[in-house]
Structure 1
């Protein structure tokens, strides 16, 4: 938001500071963005109207992008929190003392011996497993089935998140790479030809904003991957050694899915991760270096 305000306020501030030094001569007044108009742009109220339209449009577009970023980041934070809860629940699984089925009661107050057994289908990313959820099983088994279903729901949410944000975030990241290259190249050229502190300040703030937005998506995407990788350790850290054979088989089903960490892909090309962020920075530097060498040769 700060770069947007700088782009909006800089022309007015420059005009206000340069007016006394102009010795009352007419000076061309600038606008936040270069514009061609079929009318006299310097005459009032034409100038004020064009300036106001550009200012409002600039602020609204930046606020829209900011709210969209917050929305996607919130979704990724929720998925990270759900994976953290799942890790804690799986790691705390321990065999419970065996009790007669007639003496066990469910949370609804019904006898577990009177309840019917069901099958839970565990489908995730093309794989399908059937887990028996008989109430005559141990308490650890029934908790494990709930955790498996929780994991399945998280996988479905990650797939939905990819479909929602895949194309838009890919366009944003690609645009940020282009803007980072152009901003760095323009700053280098400005330092060579002479420093315009107002323009340099706007470019520096904008450069930081592009870097922050790109790194933000990659870091939160990496958090989802880290929590999903931690699930393998949680499965290995639970009390599976003393558990019954059915629990071990169900844990093997969960371990099969946990061995493939969840990643948020954008544009079906790259995943949101630290390595992708470093690759984007490397790409930006390569393009900047190419442009700088071409400009130096001229």
Structure 2
């Protein structure tokens, strides 16, 4: 991103518009202190909530490492500790990225809002369709963790291990949700109950915050995909019109409605603009009767829309890059670790509660990875349509200037828009298949170990 929002620049209050575009996830992130909508109320004391969440994640990470190092548990517990430590590190890193790049996230949101206000032709119906799609995605995203979390509460309470320390003495060791080192004796009353409730509370808070962050970026990706769909529709509908106001190839003589165009006082790009897009800055001018000029102006506007989308996707890519690479790498391992639940189900003496916990946790990580890859693939698919839309417009009846500009646009559109993370991976179906293949390879190695 070329520019960033600075504290001394005035930005209109975007709170309501951001909530309408990104849904409840934006509101939840604001209340958690994870970010401040451009021009909205300052975060203030809410930053303490974010600090508390980071402390919880750090506690789980350091506590798990300390327990494994000081009191090495059995292999099964070590795998659980690796799982919780990897999750805590990944989720904490993502939150830190958002906090450190908050101004860039704010500028990205401003650019998307300005784009939605500037390019509104044939947009209302399509954007409503994508808003409904975003609602379905949110419900599916929340459903899988909701099914898995209760088993993390119940399974430790149902799992007890009897240990004989002498010929006549046997003690019962009770598990907790996490493998964590604690400075106090964890098996005595009420220490065990206090630690259990504390860990359950940490689990609920951390998972909820992670889901909210996922939904925030997912809704942002869906909003961008909607604009690419709108651009496809506008490009495909470009047609030359007769000077007398009738479509050239129309047999029934359908009257066209517009000979008015819109030019803008400001020539600055959206990346350089921090102010609200305002209709008052428009200058309405009557187009000439030359329909070729009208068609060329329409193409120019669509090219500007495409350039804006390229800039926005590039900014989103830079914001998500490192944290997404880490998330995908860790998810490959987590999918593998939780897949052992299916194998444990066939082993004699396996505890049903432990098997069920792993089996229910497995789809949660599949769901998170699949959704991001699916949303990235949606951007690629809509971008791939741009060439077909351009070829399907009324270029055959247009003048050479329009055809020349259209060829330049098609050359640019031949490189599909995509979210490339870490400059290596592209969010797509192929990446999801690679992740599953990597997880299966690791799983195969571990099960034969």
What's the TM-score bracket when you normalise by the shorter of the two chains? 0.7 to 0.9
SS in 2 for 1:28: strand
Q: TM-score, normalised by structure 2?
A: 0.54
179-188 vs 61-70, which moves further: 179-188
Is the 1:263–1:271 Cα contact (8 Å) retained in structure 2?
yes
* Alignment partner, residue 111 of structure 1: none
Determine which structure has more spread, i.e. the larger CA radius of gyration. 1
- SS of 1:191 mapped into structure 2: coil
RMSD of aligned residue pairs (Cα, Å) = 2.9
Task: Decide which of 202, 211, 217 is 2:372's aligned counterpart.
Answer: 217
Match of 2:343 in 1: 188
Q: What is the deviation of 1:7?
A: 0.8
**Pairing 1:59–2:207 present:** no
The alignment covers a number of residue pairs equal to: 265
User: CA offset at residue 119 of structure 1?
Assistant: 9.2
Q: Report if the CA contact (8 A) 2:240-2:398 is conserved.
A: yes
Q: Say whether residues 1:44 and 2:199 are aligned partners.
A: no
Q: Which residue is 2:235 aligned to? A: 90
Alignment CA distance shift 1:48-1:119 (3 Å): closer
Q: CA deviation at 1:195?
A: 1.8
Counterpart-to-counterpart distance in 1, 2:218 and 2:293: 39
Off by >4 Å, runs of 4+ in structure 1: 118-121
Mapped contact 1:93–1:144 kept (Cα < 8 A): yes
TM-score of the superposition, structure 1-length normalised? 0.80
Match of 1:4 among 141, 149, 152: 149
Structure 2 residue aligned with 1:128: none
Name the counterpart of 2:308.
153
| Residue number in structure 2 paired with 1:68 | 213
SS at match of 2:207: helix
Distance 1:55 1:29 in 2: 15
Cα deviation code 1:194-213 (max 9, x no counterpart): 32110000101111111111
Output the CA distance in 2 between the equivalents of 1:12 and 1:189.
Answer: 19
Matched position secondary structure for 1:192? coil
Q: Following the alignment from structure 2 to structure 1, what is the Cα–Cα distance between the partners of residues 441 and 159?
A: 34
CA distance in 2, matches of 1:266, 1:107: 39
Matched with 2:399 is 244
For residue 49 of structure 1, report the CA deviation from its aligned partner. 1.7
Give the gaps of 5 or more residues in structure 1.
16-24, 109-114, 122-134
CA spacing shift, 1:186–1:5, aligned 2, 3 Å: closer
SS at match of 2:397: coil
Is there any run of 5+ residues in structure 2 with no aligned partner, and where?
1-144, 161-169, 246-257, 270-286
CA contact (8 A) 2:380 2:418 kept: yes
Counterparts in 2 of 1:1-298, with a 5 A limit?
Answer: 1=145, 2-12=147-157, 27-98=172-243, 106-107=260-261, 138-185=293-340, 187-188=342-343, 191-294=346-449
